[in-house]
Amino acid sequence: MTWVLANLEQIWGLTVDHILLSILPIIGGFVLAVPIGWLAHRYSLSRGILLTVCGLLYTIPSLALIVAMPTVLGTQILNPANLIVTLTIYAIALMVRTATDAFDAVSKDVAQSATAVGFGGWRRFWQVELPLAGPVLLAGLRVVSTSTVSLVTLGALVGMSGLGYLFTDGYQRNFPTEILTGIVGTVLIAVVFDALLVLIGRMLLPWARVDAAARRDARSARTKAVAA
Amino acid sequence: MNAFLEAFAWIADPAHWSGPDGIPTRVAEHLGYTGLTVLIAVLIAVTLGLYIGHTGRWRGISIGATGALRALPTLGLLTYLAIAFGFGIRLALIPTVIVLVVLAIPPLLAGAYSGIESVDPRTVDAARSMGMTEWQILWKVEVPLALPLIIGGIRSAVLQVVATATVAAYISLGGLGRYIIDALPVRDYTKVLVGALLVTLLALVLEGILILIQRLTVPAGVRAIRTAAPLRTSRKSTRVPVAPTGTSGQMAKQHTPTQ
């Protein structure tokens, strides 16, 4: 505890870096995965291709992707872009499957009713399909958020900032307290992100808590994303 | 892209195919850690998952727990276990296996209990009414029907363990991670890339094998239903309330275990 108090400034700095490095891939991955998921849901040809590509991308080990990024992007090894691009690819790979399921779960009848009362494709997407897919999308996003926050620590192996630095530094100095601080900090960030996402979900999707079907879909989506 | 050519040339060099730092040795080490870990994790998590799926007990807790386990940073847990206990460095295999087991449990548990849950409750009721004991129901009805999803869990556990076993090299263990961890400080980026390529290749090969196994384990009965009712129709009718008991979503899941 004394060590933590004495080094509060450094720990806080690493925490801020960690948060910044995680937020970009989480938001970027989500924003890119939703339209891709919709495409996979809409056309059976793109479904096979997109889901296979995402499956393959997800198979590439994270550390391998991080260290191969400088070669692919032409960046320096210490450039944070390597980590951010890698984690965004992971977020997309994981999220596209969930997004496809989310749009699949929107009742065909409801979508057709929307068309029948005069909704065009664009308006139907924003006002009917996207909100109804919301609970499942949120469930997937929560899994993505947790795993991204945890994966950011791997960046420390290639000299990136973030709480992972406490792991490599603590290991080299043979100092368990420092590592423990990093673990607790990482889990705390993950928990806070998760709570924020749940809160945002309650504000944007107030019906999801009362709708039993939506709750069931969200739960099975979470299980599926964990098992994926 | 020139770097990739150099990496391939490195791999093709016969000098790198023998000795303690040769590719076969490193691959064997990597597969050894993976096999040991997955074996232990399957014994723990699949047993637990079958119990939860069959009895329906502790489901909420296990979903929460698997989510929490995922938040634990692997590298942190690994380095902590390695230096917090006296044996950690000498017997680097112990902390490594513990960390990888922790990593493998969530997908295995989720696969096992969602697999059992996906079995149509009417099928289970029918088995019970025929006089099967709970044990028989589990082994003769639920497990065979859930097998594709259980293997699906094993598949993603294997992939995550193969990917993460790379990190074991950081606490002085072997495996393909050695190429990456050894080459990074001396800026030998060709060798780093070699490590990355080999781990990726290993993961892809294992993924292919496991997908094949997953396909083969679909029970003949389920396969017959699938041929009779094409995938597309079953997906569209996901939310149509066809059955008074259970959820039609669960039935749809049975048809698409590979997702």
Rounded CA-CA distance A185/A58 in Å is 26
The H or E element that residue B29 is part of is: helix B23-55
Distances (CA, A) of B131 to A52, B51, B54, B127, B141: 43, 20, 17, 7, 13
Dihedral of alpha carbons B152, B154, B156, B162, sign: negative
Q: Is A166 exposed, middle or buried (0-12, 13-18, 19+ CB in 10 A)?
A: buried
Q: How confident is the model at residue B225 (pLDDT cuts 50, 70, 90)?
A: low
Other Cβ atoms less than 10 A from the Cβ of A60: the count is 23
How do residues A2-29 score in pLDDT, each as one tens digit? 888 888 888 899 999 999 999 999 999 9
The ipTM (two decimal places) reads 0.84
Question: Which range is most confident: A144-153, B53-62, B172-181?
Answer: A144-153
Determine whether the interchain pair B79/A220 forms a contact, defined as Cβ–Cβ distance below 8 Å.
no
How far, in whole angstroms, is CA A204 from its chain's centroid? 18
Residue A63, both tokens: 């550390």
Confidence (pLDDT) at B229 = 52
* Residues A117/B39, Cβ–Cβ less than 8 Å: no
Which residues on chain B are in Cβ contact (under 8 Å) with A77? 184, 187, 189
Signed CA dihedral, A23, A25, A29, A32: sign only: positive
Task: Return the residue of B nearest to A193 by Cα.
Answer: B71
Answer yes or no: do B67 and A107 touch at CB < 8 A.
no
CB contacts, 8 Å: A220 with chain B: 114, 249, 253
Hey, are the CB atoms on B70 and A220 less than 8 Å from each other?
A: no
- Tell me: pLDDT of A171 over 80: yes
- If you average pLDDT over residues A63-86, what whole number do you get? 85
Locate the DSSP E strands across B126-172.
Answer: none
pLDDT of A18: 94
Please answer whether residues A15 and A23 qualify as being in contact, where contact means their C-beta atoms are separated by less than 8 angstroms: no
- Nearest chain B residue to A54 by CA distance is B259
Residue owning tokens 């793109």: A46
Percent of chain A with pLDDT over 90: 32
Extract long-range pairs of A213-219: CB within 8 Å, 24+ residues apart.
Answer: A213/B239, A214/A135, A214/A136, A215/A135, A216/B247, A216/B249, A217/A102, A217/A105, A217/A135, A217/A136, A217/A139, A217/B249, A218/A135, A218/A136, A218/A138, A218/A139, A219/A139, A219/B63
Whether residue A55 is predicted with pLDDT greater than 60 in this model: the reply is yes
**Shortest distance, CA B75 to any CA of chain A (angstroms):** 7
- Dist CA B240 CA A98 (whole Å): 20
How crowded is residue B15: how many other Cβ atoms within 10 Å of its Cβ?
8
Contact assignment for A104 to B235 by CB distance below 8 Å:
yes
- What residue of B is the nearest CA neighbor of A52? B259
User: How confident is the model over A110-124, as pLDDT tens digits?
Assistant: 888 988 998 888 888
Residue B1 binned pLDDT confidence (cut-offs 50, 70, 90)? low
pLDDT digits (tens, 9 = 90+) for A196-215: 999 999 898 887 777 777 77
Pick the residue from chain A with its C-alpha nearest to B181.
A157
Question: Cβ distance B208 to B59 under 8 Å?
Answer: no
| Cα A208-A213-A217 angle, rounded to 5 deg | 85
Mutate to test the interface with A, among B4, B79, B164, B200 (most CBs of A within 10 A): B79
Q: Are the beta carbons of B63 and A44 separated by less than 8 Å? A: no
Of B73, B83, B200, the CB nearest to A171: B83
CB B164 within 8 A of CB B131: no
Return the sign of the alpha-carbon dihedral for residues A39, A45, A50, A55: positive
Bigger pLDDT: B143 vs B70: B143
Do residues A132 and A110 lie in contact, with contact meaning Cβ atoms separated by under 8 Å?
Answer: yes
Give one DSSP letter per residue of A134-203, joined into a string: HHHHHHHHHHHHHHHHHHGGGGGGGT--STHHHHHHHHHTT-HHHHHHHHHHHHHHHHHHHHHHHHHHHH
Nearest-by-CA chain A residue for B113: A223
Q: Do A156 and B75 touch (CB under 8 A)?
A: yes
Angstrom distance (rounded) from CA B44 to CA B40? 6
With tokens 């964990």, the residue in question is A226
Residue at token pair 């700095």: A13
User: Is A59's pLDDT higher than 90?
Assistant: no
Judge whether residue B239 has pLDDT over 50.
no
Best of A14, A51, A60 to mutate (most B CBs within 10 Å, chain B): A60
Residue corresponding to tokens 């100092």: A175
User: Among B42, B256, B50, B52, which residue's Cα sits nearest to residue B139?
Assistant: B50
Inter-chain touch A63–B189, beta carbons under 8 Å: no
Determine the Cα–Cα distance for residues A121 and A113; give it in Å rounded to an integer. Answer: 12
CA distance A228 to chain B (A): 6
When pLDDT is cut at 50, 70 and 90, the band that residue A89 belongs to is very high
A173, with CB counted inside 10 A (0-12, 13-18, 19+), is: exposed
Percent of chain B past pLDDT 90, that is, above it, reads 10
Structure token pair of residue B243: 């059955």
Token code pair at residue B195 = 């490590």
Confidence of residue B227 (pLDDT cuts 50, 70, 90): low
Give pLDDT tens digits for B116-151.
888 888 988 999 999 998 889 988 888 888 888 888
Residues from chain B contacting residue A147 (CB–CB below 8 Å): 70
Inter-chain residue contact A182 with B76, CB threshold 8 Å? yes
A141 has pLDDT over 90: yes
* Rounded CA separation A110/A113 (Å): 5
The pLDDT, as a whole number, for residue B246 is 38
Across A138-142, B100-104, B188-192, B224-228, least confident range: B224-228
Secondary structure (DSSP) of B75-98: HHHHHHHHHHSTHHHHTTHHHHHH
Residue A149 near residue A22, CB atoms below 8 Å? yes
Which residue in B77, B152, B166 is closest to A63 by CB distance?
A: B166
- The pLDDT, as a whole number, for residue A34 is 92
Confidence of residue B244 (pLDDT cuts 50, 70, 90): very low
How many residues appear in chain A?
Answer: 228
CA distance A157 to chain B (A): 8
Helix (H) or strand (E) holding A89: helix A80-105
From A193's Cα to the closest Cα of chain B, the distance in A is 11
Query: Is the Cβ pair A61, B203 closer than 8 Å?
Result: yes
Interchain contact, A157 vs B259, CB within 8 Å: no
- Report CB contact under 8 Å: A71, B184: no
SS3 state of residue A157: helix
Nearest by CB to residue B73, choosing from A67, A105, A183, is A183
Beta-strand ranges (E) seen in A42-157 are none
